[in-house]
Every structure is written in C-alpha cells, then in structure tokens.
Amino acid sequence: MNTPIRGRFAPSPSGRMHLGNLFAALLAWLDVRSLGGEMVLRMEDLDPDRCKPAYLPQLAEDLRWLGLDWDEGWQPGDTVYTQSHRTAVYQAAFDRLAEAGLVYPCFCTRRELLAASAPHAADGARVYDGRCRRLSPAERAARLATGRKPAWRVAVPAETVSFVDGNYGPQAQRLDTDCGDFILRRSDGVYAYQLAVAADDGAMGITRVVRGWDLLSSTPRQIWLLEQLGYPAPAYCHVPLLLAPDGRRLAKRDRDLDVGCLRANSTPEKVTGLLAYLAGLQPRPAPVRPRELVRDFSWAQVGARDRVVDERAWAAL
C-alpha cells in the first residue's frame, strides 16, 4: 500500500496570523493539494505564556477565509490536534528516549548556560557544551535531592544528519557541534517544540512539512528525533520569509499586516493574488483563488530568495 501524502498547518496561536504566516500556509496547502494529498490542522499551543485559547478558532477561521481547507484537525473542543492536550504523547516519546539512555537532567541556570555554550554561527542559537551530561550518578542524585527542578536534555551523537530540502536543496548538520544536546522538557514541565513536533509529525503520519526557512536549522534535530522514535522522516520544503522594506521580517506585532486588518480592508482573492505574486506563482498580483493555483504549482517557481513586501505590493490589496 502506498503511504498517503499528508501535510499540515501547524500554527502557534500566539496572536493573529500575519501576511507571512498566510504565505507559508498557502504554499503548504498548494504543495499537498498539487500532489493530491491530505491536509491536517494542528494547533501548536504548547507554550502557556505565549498562546491564548481565543486565538485557536480565529486561526482556523482565518485560514478558511483565505480559501484553505483541511481534511482533519482542530475544531472547537478538540483534544486530538491541540498540542496542549497531547502531553501523554510527548511523555511517551520522552520515556522512549529515556529508556534508550539518551535523556539527562540539566541543572544549569541561565547564567551558567551562557557560560556553558558557544554561539552557533548558523542561526544564532547556542551549542550547549554538555556539562550536565558528564555529572556522575552521585552528583546527579545530589542535585536532584535539592528539589530544584531540572530541564531535561537529549544527548545527541557525533553524527551528521543530511537531507535534501525541496526548496533549499542539500542540507547537513553535525548534531554534536552544530546543535549540541537540546532541551526536551523545560524545568517547568513544558515539553519543547522539537520533541512535540517530531512526536506529532510521526504520530500523525505527516509526509510533507512546509514552513518558513527560519526552521530549516531545526530540521536535522527533528529528523533525528523521528528516527529515534521509530518514524520515517517527512519530506521538507522550507519557504522564503516575507520582509518589510527595511529588511525586517514581518512579525505578529506589525498590526497593519495581521489578518484582521487584511480582512477588513481587502478580499481573499486579492490577498491570495498578492501572495501568489510574491511566491513567483503569477507575474502580477492579480486576484485569484487558492484552488486556481493548484494545477500549475511547482517549487521551481518559488525559489529561495526572501521577498520584500513594498508599496507596490500593498497597492494590490
């Protein structure tokens, strides 16, 4: 039997989406629909400090407004496609890694972490030097006995993970030197994004991951975690970012770009037209519906260059 093609929308409900989120969502939808696959909507609301329940229905409604649909996923009252309700899944994944001897507690404070990690050139993240990995069993027991809650890290091997991104081409990362032992569960008990995404993509049978290239450097970690959890890795296509004219990345704080303002001032066809133009899928920002773009969609048209949303682009709305 052939594996079904399955992609996902995986928004974080930390605010209203903006034009850049819609850009990635449109490309994720076109990627899967052009292959005749299924779409899943999963709400990534793990971080209780950033995510608000009120944003969940709004997100689903905003995707629908643009003309994007999905075959299964979040709906009001859902607990299956909502990360904050999937703690048992992450606990099981965590336990599996722990049983394989790959998990250790990390007692480093924020200040110690700065001292214990080297800045990582690729994405500005820091590579942890693994000092808590080297604690003796007695030292570990003594620290646990103080009652201070540790974070939990996974011990990565000295291995290179390689993959071919469908839009950015061949990628490789040495796990120990480019990334280091990373956090699976924070000291407050919240499971980390990397673990949750790998466990969910695996459990939900996702075969196509399309998202902003800011997550390109997380991909080797996720591929490696999927492998440890016994799942095949999906295909990954990262998408360019939308930038403001001053070169900044569009962000949720740019109020004038959020979907609420777009909905108040424009139409789904005009917004899709602009996104399709920015993506290289049509020569002008002419109004269009997502489903009209499915037939001719190809990644060769999209390419890797980030896009500036300038005055001319706005004029299309």
Interface residues with ligand GLU (CB under 6 A) are: 10-12, 44, 197, 211, 215
> Rounded CA gap, 222 and 205, in Å?
14
Here the tokens at position 290 are: 């997502």
Q: Token pair of 37, please?
A: 């696959």
Neighbouring residues of 2: CB distance < 8 A, sequence distance ≥ 6: none
CB of 44 vs ligand GLU, minimal distance in Å: 4
CB–CB of 61/94 below 8 Å? no
Select 167 or 282, whichever has its Cβ closest to ligand GLU: 167
CB of 218 to ligand GLU, least distance (A): 7
248 versus 312: smaller Cβ distance to ligand GLU:
248
Cβ(276)–Cβ(307) under 8 Å? no
Q: How far is CA 31 from CA 28, 108, 178, 264, in A?
A: 5, 42, 30, 28
Least spacing, CB of residue 108 vs ligand GLU, in Å: 26
- DSSP lists the bridge partners of residue 308 as 243
Structure letter (DSSP) for residue 19: H
Give whichever of 47 and 269 is closer to ligand GLU, judged by the CB atom.
Answer: 47
Provide the token pair at 76: 């009001």
Q: Rounded to the nearest whole angstrom, what is the least distance from the CB of residue 198 to ligand GLU in the complex?
A: 9
Q: Which is nearer to ligand GLU, 215 or 233 (CB)?
A: 215
For ligand GLU, the closer of residues 194 and 282 by Cβ is 194
170: exposed, middle or buried (Cβ count in 10 Å: 0-12, 13-18, 19+): exposed
Q: What is the spatial distance between Cα 144 and Cα 152, in angstroms, rounded to a whole number?
A: 12
Nearest-approach distance from CB 111 to ligand GLU, in angstroms: 28
Least distance from ligand GLU to the Cβ atom of residue 90, Å: 15
Q: Which two tokens stand for residue 130?
A: 């693994």
Residue number, 104 or 236, with CB nearest to ligand GLU: 236
The neighbouring-strand residues paired with 249 are 243
Residue 315 CA to residue 127 CA, distance in Å, equals: 44
* Smallest separation (angstroms) from ligand GLU to the CB of 148: 30
d(CA 224, CA 102): 12
